[in-house]
Structure 1
Amino acid sequence: MIVKHPKANGSQSMSLTRILMEIMMVASNNNVNNENLIWLDMEMSGLLPDSDRILELAAVVTDANLNVLGESPVFVIHQSDAVLDGMDAWNKGAHGRSGLIDKVKASTTSEQMATEQMIAFLKEHVPAGKSPMCGNSICQDRRFMARYMPELESYFHYRNLDVSVFKELARRWKPEIYAGFKKASRHEALADIYESIDELKYYREHFIVK
């Protein structure tokens, strides 16, 4: 809202509006950085992109030092009863306990709608093609994204930043460090992202030689 001084004319009011818009654009652009990292997690109905579908996704943006800069909405994707009924026992149990199955049935969000809104969020923080896709076993999420959300997949750099690499190396080289990080594994997109960020912070402190 623009508060207009009683003596201000129309041109002065428009000038003030333009100044405020420019200030907002500069502030927004200051958040965009090539070095920012996009962390992502999906929950799926199974492991096979050709037959299973995306149920939920979310993203968190951090700076290069893993400080959180922004958090996307959690997108729950509507899927048919046939998709949900076709899940195996493990997925039905995990997604039933978390309440995700009921959320999927109630959702009106499609893959395309989620794609458009997620890209709009990412543009506020990272230019296209700059951030690797960050997360745990993130190649699996990327396979589903390439299949069902190709526009979103192409927003990322072709590289991945997979925390699972550090996990597997620690398990073989430093099992005591591997044992020191306990995961809750809630199988909820946003919670799992923050757990991945915390896990990389742990390995940065205890495993990566400075």
Structure 2
Amino acid sequence: MNTILYGLMMTGLDCNHHTLIEAAIIITDKNLKVLAESPNIIIHQSDKVLENMEEWSKKHHGISGLTENVRKSNISIEQADQMLYEFIKPFAPKGVCPLAGNSIHMDRTFIRKYMPKLESHLSYRLIDVSTLKELLKRWKPELANEVPIKSGKHRALDDIKESVQELQFYKSYLNL
């Protein structure tokens, strides 16, 4: 069974007040071998929406250049939804493959609200990489420094690649 690793950049963390600005997907097989990688899909938002971003988002998306790329993009949320839906279909039978990533429950909240086509194809199961990290900190704190270090780029595809590396670390550590 394949895994759908999903990365999302938003204007903030409240899906009732914030929206999507970038999304990407990596599909892996059960052993975390990358089968396919989508591009970063940058979603256009108006200046008004961008002005109302949370401060963290303003800072980091400004530094990464994402905010300016969002202004220049001509891709709507609906188009991004369709693109990602079409991307996963060859690799993921409807309702079968789990969705994975760091704090993936947060991304799933935004998918439910803004990407109904993609949502309709996903399994209800989630693999939250952040949970593994938190458990390791608590139960094996001496190994916490061995987890691959994140680059801090705060771009969707980069974040997913780091999630894959992190999962590979846990898989290796657990001898699975």
Aligned to 2:168: 201
Aligned to 2:126: 160
Aligned to 1:100: 66
Structure with max Cα Rg: 1
Aligned to 1:52: 18
Aligned to 2:48: 82
Aligned to 1:120: 86
Distance (whole Å) between structure 1 residues aligned to residue 97 and residue 118 of structure 2: 12
* Percent identity between the two aligned chains: 44
Runs of 4+ in 1 over 4 A off after TM superposition: none
Specify every segment of 5 or more residues in structure 1 that has no aligned partner in the other structure, as ranges.
1-34
Correspondent of 2:136 among 170, 175, 200: 170
Distance (whole Å) between structure 1 residues aligned to residue 4 and residue 165 of structure 2: 14
- Compute the TM-score of the two structures, normalised by the length of structure 2: 0.96
Distance (whole Å) between structure 2 residues aligned to residue 121 and residue 72 of structure 1: 7
- Compute the TM-score of the two structures, normalised by the length of structure 1: 0.81
Does the alignment pair 1:142 with 2:104? no
Aligned length: 175
Deviation per CA, 1:110-138: give whole Å up to 9, x if none.
Answer: 11111111111111211111111110000
For structure 1, which segment, 125-134 or 166-175, has the greater mean C-alpha deviation from structure 2 after superposition? 125-134
Distance (whole Å) between structure 1 residues aligned to residue 54 and residue 20 of structure 2: 15
Higher relative contact order (CA 8 A, sep 6+): 2
Specify every segment of 5 or more residues in structure 2 that has no aligned partner in the other structure, as ranges.
none
Distance (whole Å) between structure 2 residues aligned to residue 37 and residue 185 of structure 1: 23
Distance (whole Å) between structure 2 residues aligned to residue 127 and residue 110 of structure 1: 25
